[in-house]
């Protein structure tokens, strides 16, 4: 019988395989096969919900007795002047507000007030710088609070910071490098009743003039060229954003209202991580005729803060209501003296009431208290109690450190003491 070369080769391979398996105590059908390489699994990174931080500066010093901190005139000492009756206060669920808090009181469940926050200055300029730096003690090279905070917030928005100010000037920028600035001229042009389309404001035209000189700048300095390109890119982002916003507004304050509208629009459009609203100089400063001036200015301003919160609660994205993704902080650079002066005004005071709301903030609570001299009382940072152990005065650093903790930043790395966070105003 003839055997082909193919059969011979096949049989020899079968024999050698069986011999090798026998030597190892195995069987032919149990031959181990080399594992087949599986393609690597690709996992799509989970998209993080955005977190926005809005810092609103009510310039000049809000009268907290008329708004946030309703006092009973019948129980007030001679060191505190209360110009309204106890029954004129606005009742919240568990606290009283001053009569000029207006529509903001309907958000009682969402608002957290921190009373007696020490700024330790009665200077407008020093207080403004403190709000920029997030500290009472700072140097010319101190990094801005919002600049540090933006680095810790989730990626996604096109910009790190947007600053709204009455005019474009160095001290109004919130100190955040690279912040996009929008002034009141832009807003007035955008929101005028007969406005059709978007008339480019002066600052935009100035940036476009740079295009012709870009090559020259690039040849002189790559760093300067990069700055020019960044400015032009920001201007393009601003132009696209402003061209889409709605001109219909429920706001009443002539300056703060339109700017708050634009911030709400920016949050809805995922424009920026942080927003800084720089106040109109001396808007709340009342060295004379305190009550009349505040009756004219504060109710519209409080109404607009309420409408701003309304818009955040009404607006939604894929992660839910915008209010639950936005931490709102409202502060003045100084407070107002508890007694009237001879002109019926209130002078400067080194302590301030702060308002917080939104993501990470316990709503419906008031922390801190004032004594018979209207000075802030120390509290327990964990419980908020004004009696018992571990009491500390509340400084503005405590509020800023708490906002940093809410934003998942490391307060210690931002220069705050380890025990400075007010966990009593944080949600779990």
Which of the four pLDDT bands, split at 50, 70 and 90, describes residue 179? confident
In this prediction, residue 258 carries a pLDDT of: 85
What would the 3-class secondary structure string for 115-175 be?
A: EEEECCCCCHHHHHHHHHHCCCCCCCCCCCHHHHHHHHCCCCCCEEEEEEECCCCHHHCCC
Among the listed ranges 49-53, 107-111, 215-219, which one has the minimum average pLDDT value?
A: 215-219
- The four Cα atoms 71, 75, 80, 81 give a dihedral, to 10 degrees, of 80
Cα 369 to Cα 385: distance, rounded to the nearest angstrom: 10
What does the DSSP assignment read for 200-260?
A: --HHHHHHHHGGGGHHHHHHH-HHHHHHHHHHHHHHHHHHHHHTTS-------STTHHHHH
pTM of the model: 0.82
Cα 93 to Cα 111: distance, rounded to the nearest angstrom: 12
Q: Please state whether beta strands 90-91 and 96-97 pair in parallel, antiparallel, or not at all (unpaired).
A: antiparallel
In this prediction, residue 26 carries a pLDDT of: 41
Among the listed ranges 19-28, 98-107, 210-219, 352-361, which one has the minimum average pLDDT value?
A: 19-28
CB atoms within 10 A of CB 166: 17
Cα 149 to Cα 408: distance, rounded to the nearest angstrom: 9
Q: What is the mean pLDDT of residues 203-229?
A: 60
Looking at the chain, how many residues does it have? 428
Q: At residue 371, what are phi and psi to the nearest 5 degrees?
A: -90, -165
Q: Which tens digits make up the pLDDT trace of 74-123?
A: 888 889 999 999 999 999 999 999 999 999 999 999 999 999 999 999 99
In this prediction, residue 278 carries a pLDDT of: 85
Q: What is the mean pLDDT of residues 173-202?
A: 57
Q: Which tens digits make up the pLDDT trace of 115-155?
A: 999 999 999 999 999 999 999 998 777 889 999 999 999 99
Does domain 52-178+247-362 bear CATH number 3.30.390?
no
Question: What value does the mean pLDDT of the chain take?
Answer: 82
Q: Which tens digits make up the pLDDT trace of 224-275?
A: 666 666 777 777 777 778 777 777 788 998 889 888 998 999 999 999 999 9
Higher pLDDT, 312 or 222: 312
Give 327's strand partners: 53, 358
Percent of the chain with pLDDT over 90: 59
3-class state of residue 83 by DSSP: coil
């Amino acid at each position: 019988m003839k055997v082909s070369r193919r059969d011979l080769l096949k049989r020899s391979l079968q024999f050698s395989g069986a011999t090798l398996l026998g030597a190892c105590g195995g069987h032919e059908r149990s031959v181990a096969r080399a594992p087949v390489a599986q393609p690597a699994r690709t996992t799509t990174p989970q998209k993080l919900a955005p977190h926005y931080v809005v810092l609103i500066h009510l310039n000049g010093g809000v009268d907290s007795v008329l708004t946030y901190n309703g006092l009973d005139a019948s129980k007030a000492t001679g060191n505190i002047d209360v110009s309204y009756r106890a029954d004129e206060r606005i009742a919240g669920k568990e606290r009283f507000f001053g009569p000029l808090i207006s529509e903001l009181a309907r958000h009682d469940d969402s608002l957290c007030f921190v009373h007696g926050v020490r700024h330790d200055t009665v200077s407008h300029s020093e207080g403004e710088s403190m709000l920029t730096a997030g500290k009472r003690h700072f140097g010319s090279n101190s990094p801005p609070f919002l600049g540090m905070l933006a680095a810790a917030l989730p990626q996604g928005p096109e910009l790190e910071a947007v600053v709204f100010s009455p005019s474009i000037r160095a001290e109004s920028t919130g100190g955040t490098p690279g912040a996009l600035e929008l002034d009141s001229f832009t807003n007035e042009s955008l929101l005028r009743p007969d406005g059709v389309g978007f008339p480019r404001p002066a600052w935009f035209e100035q940036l476009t003039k740079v295009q012709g000189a870009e090559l020259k700048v690039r040849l002189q300095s790559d760093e300067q060229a990069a700055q020019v390109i960044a400015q032009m890119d920001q201007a393009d982002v601003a132009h696209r954003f402003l061209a889409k916003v709605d001109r219909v507004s429920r706001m009443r304050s002539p300056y703060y209202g339109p700017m708050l509208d634009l911030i709400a629009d920016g949050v809805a459009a995922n424009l920026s991580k942080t927003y800084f609203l720089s106040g109109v100089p001396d808007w709340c400063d009342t060295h004379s005729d305190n009550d009349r001036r505040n009756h004219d200015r504060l109710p519209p301003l409080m109404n607009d803060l309420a409408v701003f919160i309304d818009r955040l609660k009404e607006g939604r994205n894929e992660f839910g209501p915008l209010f639950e993704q936005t931490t709102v902080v409202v502060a003045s650079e100084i407070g107002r003296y508890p007694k009237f002066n001879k002109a019926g005004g209130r002078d400067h005071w080194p302590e301030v009431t702060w308002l917080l709301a939104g993501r990470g903030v316990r709503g419906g609570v008031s922390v801190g208290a004032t004594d018979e001299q209207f000075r802030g009382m120390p509290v327990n940072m964990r419980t908020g109690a004004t009696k018992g152990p571990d009491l500390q005065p509340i400084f503005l650093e405590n509020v800023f450190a708490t906002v940093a903790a809410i934003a998942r930043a490391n307060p210690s790395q931002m220069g705050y003491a380890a025990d400075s966070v007010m966990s009593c105003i944080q949600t779990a």
